[in-house]
Chain A
């Protein structure tokens, strides 16, 4: 390695990563098609092996995560769900039982059996149980813990006399929203607190004054969306900051002038997609019509008899009878509505989704299973979860709403790599979320 005395630490660090990544890209581009096809394919068997093994046993080095075991459950089980799979009944029951042992008398979950209840591990436990689904899992969740974590200043603390930050706010509100117990007491002053954490850069920091940061940006935006106060944020500057966090490697970094990391694929792409959908919905309201380039259906009705309208220029339009015209009209109206519908249900993502997917697949994905931050770092379950979640978000980024499936061209590696869609505000697989909501709205 040549001496680079004129580079600052930031420049040097960035240069080293860039080198590694671009070498991977050029090796890939130079390889034959068959190799390329194989390389971009997510090896589902290997991924599932890695995940299932983690669920069953973890080595001593995991002692550093001894206070985070519900997180490990969530990272693994959510990853399995993203891959379109589920675990057998035995593992499911064991997970429910284990999480039950992590649960305290006030309903909150700790990092392991007998540990103090904590918002982060409660979020992880709730999301795990939602992912598992089924009445047994969902009915095991108990609700009282959240109120005690509320701080008079509007935010939330992560545990008794614990730290207070934007992350804690998101954890509490996400749980409350899924369990259908969101109320004024919980949301009181919250919007003000999060607003005070949006920085001059446009992103959101952990506490008022802290630097704009991907994880906190996701947490802040998602919380504001859940409490329907999103418009209070400066959305233009937020959007601007996020898109600038996609670096030369095409992956996302977490802060200005910092390094790319696979996990930011989720923390940055999710708010991006969310913002675009918010802008679209806003345009919808503003213009009173569908936001796309084709004529509105109202316009079409007006133009149905317009000779200049190319749609009316066909054989049927030669018929004199009203019935004929009506048939023509309704047939073309249907065609146009379908085209209208499809066009208005898709949008060009503001970030470069395919190249983002390329970074994740070529640089973060480990062929033997698991995902990592960047080349040279070891794989782990946290990165596996957020790289897969981020990939899912990237694949679905062209969809304006949750019911519009991706096209083959939206997915790097084609449909074989398709991952289940997530709910952007909670990061659980969509249909599991829907079942949970059904359950908790019934239970009221």
Chain B
């Protein structure tokens, strides 16, 4: 960092040899921005060294100033990478730099892409750092999209899977509606080299999910996750008693939303489940309408009423039912 960054560049002796290059906006630009003086000047000097391709320590410092003024300028990030490589700069320091930019605005693609670039160069040695960094961002915003992407990339490229399932649980304990945490759970059980994959993990995950569903039957995340555990295995999906059982339990309650339980029953029926009397009675108990002989049809009819936002969708589903049960 320059000794006094508030001094205009034109007054700093170390920049006296550079002729700033103004933006070629043309005589009548559209969407012209009324840049503040320090912004305009910094970018004029950046343009000059970008044009001359100067990859020097002062160029590095200048990119930092430019990024503090606009962290979304991908051209500056790109050029900074070229300079970092040329100077063989300490990339551990660079991680700290990125963290300082992230403090003010962590929601930009460029920052995260840069972080990924640095971390990739540093390799597995920084696996822990990347998990720590993303954890700190997620502690402020537990659904931060870029942070989750980066975390997934870091696990896959650098390792550190051991505690990830626990981390997901930690987040879900704090907020069971955190869909990002459920998504991460799926990522871990399907890709972690230290776990066995979806099938071996299924029983414990189903048990975990059923518990979550019964505690909050209106939580969409948990229902979608439950179905995910049977991905590409329709046979198990329709025959596993845990699945039917959680639906029936929820349907028998009077204190909660029935929509997800009903739509799960609908999916099961359409996938070939042969309904038992328990299924039929459970559904019929919720029907205000004349019970139709086709159970899937009846479920759709009830859904139109209990989930009215999606009334058109359930009507459309009804029109697509091909199973005759």
Contact = CB atoms under 8 A, between A and B. Distances in A.
B173 to A, nearest CB: 10
Given A60-B36, A94-B26, A355-B309, 9 more contacts: A9-B142, A55-B30, A63-B39, A64-B70, A94-B30, A114-B23, A199-B186, A209-B191, A248-B309
Interface stretch (A25-33, A140-148, A154-162, A337-345): A154-162
B32 A67 contact: no
22 contacts: A8-B176, A9-B142, A58-B34, A63-B35, A66-B39, A67-B75, A72-B31, A90-B28, A110-B75, A112-B23, A158-B109, A159-B78, A163-B112, A199-B183, A200-B227, A206-B145, A243-B310, A246-B310, A257-B179, A257-B221, A348-B315, A352-B309
Contacts of A55: 30-31
> Is chain A's binding surface mostly helix, strand, loop or mixed?
loop
B224 A200 contact: yes
B183 A211 contact: yes
Contacts of B178: 8-10, 257
B235 to A, nearest CB: 18
A256 B34 contact: no
Given A64-B70, A200-B225, A250 B174 contact: no
Contact of B312 (A97, A258, A350): A350
B72 interface: yes
B133 interface: no
Contacts of A91: 30
Contacts of A62: 33-34
B61 to A, nearest CB: 20
B32, B36, B311: which has the most chain A beta carbons within 10 Å? B32
Interface string B6-37: 00000000000000010111101111111110
Contacts of B228: 200-201
Contacts of B224: 200-202, 241, 256
Nearest to A246: B309
A330 to B, nearest CB: 32
Interface of A: 8-11, 54-60, 62-69, 72-73, 76, 90-91, 94-95, 97-98, 101, 110-116, 118, 158-163, 199-202, 206-207, 209-213, 239, 241, 243-244, 246-248, 250, 255-258, 348-352, 355
A210 B312 contact: no
B24 A8 contact: no
B149 A98 contact: no
A210 B144 CA distance: 11
> Is chain B's binding surface mostly helix, strand, loop or mixed?
helix
B220 to A, nearest CB: 5
In order of increasing CB-CB distance, the 7 nearest A-B pairs are A200-B228, A10-B177, A8-B175, A256-B179, A163-B113, A113-B24, A211-B183
Contact of B186 (A54, A200, A241, A243): A200
B175 A350 contact: no
B219 interface: yes
Nearest to A110: B75
Given A91-B30, A211-B179, A64 B75 contact: no
Contact of A97 (B28, B36, B43, B191): B28
Contacts of B179: 211, 255-258
Contact of B33 (A58, A95, A243, A247): A58
B148 interface: yes
Contact of B175 (A10, A60, A351): A10
A80 to B, nearest CB: 12
Contact of B231 (A101, A200, A248, A256): A200
B73 interface: yes
Nearest to A159: B74
A95 to B, nearest CB: 5
